[in-house]
Chain A
Amino acid sequence: MLLTVDHVTLYRYSAPVRGVVQSHRLTPSSFDGQRVLDWQVTVSDGLRGGGFRDGAGDFVQAWSIQGPVSEIEVAVRGTVETSDLAGILRGHKERVPPQCYLESTAITMADLALAELSDSAEATGGGLEAAHRLASLVADHIAYEPGSTIAATTAAEALALGKGVCQDQAHALLSMARRAGIPARYVSGYLHSSADGSPHEAAHAWAELWVPDLGWVGFDPANRCCPDDRYIRLGSGLDALDAAPIKGIARGHGEESLDVRLAVQQSSQ
Chain B
Amino acid sequence: MTRYFNEMYEGDQVRLPYQQLDAWMRNMPAELRQMKQAEAEALFRRIGITFAVYGEGGDPDRLIPFDMFPRVFSAFEWAKLDRGVKQRARALNAFLADVYGRGEIVRAGRIPANLVYQNEAYEKEVVGILPPKGVYSHIVGVDLVRTGPDEFFVLEDNCRTPSGVSYMLENREIMMRMFPALFRENRIEPVDTYPDLLRRTLASVAPPKCTGEPVIVILTPGHFNSAYYEHSFLADLMGVELVEGQDLFVEGEFVYMRTTEGPRRVDVIYRRIDDAFIDPLCFRPDSMLGVPGLMDVYRSGGVAICSAPGAGVADDKAVYTFVPEMIRFYLGEEPILNNVPTWQCAKPDDCKYVLENLAELVVKEVHGSGGYGMLVGPKCTKAEIAEFAKRIEAKPHNYIAQPTLALSTTPTFVDQGIAPRHVDLRPYCLVGERVELVPGGLTRVALTEGSLVVNSSQGGGVKDTWVLAG
Contact = CB atoms under 8 A, between A and B. Distances in A.
Do A and B come together as binding partners?
Answer: yes
Interface of A: 19, 21-23, 47-56, 60, 62, 64, 66, 95-97, 99-100, 102-103, 241, 247-249, 251
B251 A60 contact: no
A66 B256 CA distance: 13
Contacts of B252: 47-49, 64
B233 interface: no
A99 B103 CA distance: 13
Chain B interface category by residue count: 20 to 34
Interface string B107-129: 00000011001100010111111
Contacts of B128: 53-55, 95-96
Contact of B299 (A47, A50, A99): A50
Contact of A97 (B117, B125, B129, B300): B117
Contact of A50 (B102, B127, B249, B302): B302
A48 B297 CA distance: 11
B281 A49 contact: no
A60 B118 contact: no
A50 B302 CA distance: 8
Nearest to A248: B281
Interface string B293-314: 1001101111000000000000
A251 B103 CA distance: 39
Nearest to A52: B300
B250 interface: yes
B299 A54 contact: yes
A187 B400 CA distance: 37
Contacts of A56: 124, 127
Contacts of B106: 97
Contact of B129 (A52, A64, A66, A103): A52
B355 interface: no
Contacts of B301: 50, 52
A52 B208 CA distance: 14
B285 interface: yes
Contacts of B285: 241
B300 A55 contact: no
- Sorted from nearest, which 7 A-B pairs have the closest CB atoms? A50-B300, A55-B127, A62-B296, A21-B293, A99-B117, A249-B292, A55-B128
23 contacts: A21-B250, A21-B292, A23-B296, A49-B252, A49-B296, A50-B253, A50-B296, A50-B301, A51-B300, A52-B129, A54-B125, A54-B127, A54-B129, A55-B100, A55-B124, A55-B129, A56-B124, A62-B297, A62-B300, A66-B251, A96-B127, A97-B117, A100-B127
Nearest to A46: B252
A66 B251 CA distance: 8
Contacts of A103: 118
Contacts, number: 96
Given A49-B293, A55-B128, A100-B124, 7 more contacts: A22-B293, A53-B128, A54-B128, A55-B125, A100-B118, A100-B122, A100-B127
Given A48-B252, A49-B297, A95 B127 contact: yes
Contacts of A54: 125, 127-129, 299
B132 to A, nearest CB: 14
A210 B352 CA distance: 34
A99 B117 CA distance: 6
B214 interface: no
B282 interface: yes
A66 B249 CA distance: 11
A47 B296 CA distance: 14
Contacts of B250: 21, 49, 62, 64
Contacts of B300: 49-52, 62
B324 interface: no
Interface in B381-395: none
Contacts of B124: 55-56, 96, 100
A247 B122 CA distance: 22
A247 B281 contact: yes
A195 B200 CA distance: 64
A171 B117 CA distance: 21
A55 B124 CA distance: 7
